[in-house]
Structure 1
Amino acid sequence: MSKQAAPPALVDLSADAPCCPPLASRRVPAETAAVLAPALKALGDPVRLQLMSMIASAADGEVCVCDLTPAFDLSGPTISHHLKTLREAGLVDADRRGTWVYYRARPAVLRQLAALLTVEPATTA
């Protein structure tokens, strides 16, 4: 049995409906913050943010690790570590095909994060 408890799954990041109101409208409950924090933390690294951008903007909706690795001046194992972090945070899905792994973004999760970070423009009277 693992000593590290999984965060409470009170928020379904794969749902198409917003998980919670935007940050600017009211406080995020602690339980929701615990579920969202790993995804935001994963995107807090410059390499992972670039990888996420490359995966999310892939023309076919997915990209092979063989196309991601050459874009960085990092070793293959380092890129694999960053991709694993994105996968564990729920931001991407991966499929192994032979010796290569293909990654695709999870749009519902990205929409959830975008909704959370939405700030309504100030209205002038």
Structure 2
Amino acid sequence: MTPLQFYKCLADDTRLRSLLLLEAHGELCVCELMAALEESQPKVSRHLAQLRECGLLVGERDGQWVFYRLAPDLPEWCKTVLVDTRTANEDWIRTDSERLNAMGDRPERVARCC
């Protein structure tokens, strides 16, 4: 991934906030991101698809849920940018995180077996 590709993927409010929430919380599904961002399912899903196409996210189906997380093969410099951006801008996603934490009926993560 080139720096230009990476930064183009981040150049949208919904995509960037989604990535920062995923960096902070590890793994989230569409419904959790909808609640946190106060956005519609089609909009969140469209941006997640774009982030998958960019190679920044992976999704894993577990029953009716698809859980998204940062791609494990994401270059270290990309991970560092996301961590540094989130930690330097906690106030920017604080309300999103509070909405996520207040969400009822969050899907339960099933322990994954090897």
- Answer yes or no: same fold by TM over 0.5: yes
What does residue range 85-100 of structure 1 map to in structure 2 within 5 Å?
85-100=50-65
2:24 paired with 1:57: yes
Deviation of the 1:57 alpha carbon: 1.0
What does residue range 105-124 of structure 1 map to in structure 2 within 5 Å?
105-106=70-71, 108-109=73-74, 111-113=76-78, 114=80
Deviation of the 1:36 alpha carbon: 4.1
Greater fraction helix: 2
User: What stretches of structure 1 of length at least 5 have no aligned partner?
Assistant: 1-12, 14-34, 116-125
Deviation of the 1:68 alpha carbon: 0.9
Task: Judge conservation of contact 2:55–2:71 (CA < 8 Å) in 1.
Answer: yes
Query: Which residue pairs with 2:4 in the alignment?
Result: 37
What does residue range 15-26 of structure 1 map to in structure 2 within 5 Å?
none
User: Aligned letter for 1:57?
Assistant: A
Scaled by the length of structure 1, the TM-score of the pair is 0.55
Deviation of the 1:110 alpha carbon: 5.1
Q: CA RMSD in A?
A: 2.0
**SS of alignment partner, residue 94 of structure 1:** strand
User: Aligned letter for 1:38?
Assistant: Q
Task: Judge conservation of contact 1:93–1:104 (CA < 8 Å) in 2.
Answer: yes
Task: Judge conservation of contact 1:65–1:101 (CA < 8 Å) in 2.
Answer: yes
Deviations 1:11-53 (A, max 9, x none): xx5xxxxxxxxxxxxxxxxxxxxx4433221111111100000
Scaled by the length of structure 2, the TM-score of the pair is 0.60
Query: Which residue pairs with 2:40 in the alignment?
Result: 75
* Percent of pairs with identical residues: 36
Task: Judge conservation of contact 2:31–2:41 (CA < 8 Å) in 1.
Answer: no
Query: Which residue pairs with 2:102 in the alignment?
Result: none
Aligned residue pairs: how many? 80
Asked which structure has the greater CA Rg, the reply is 1
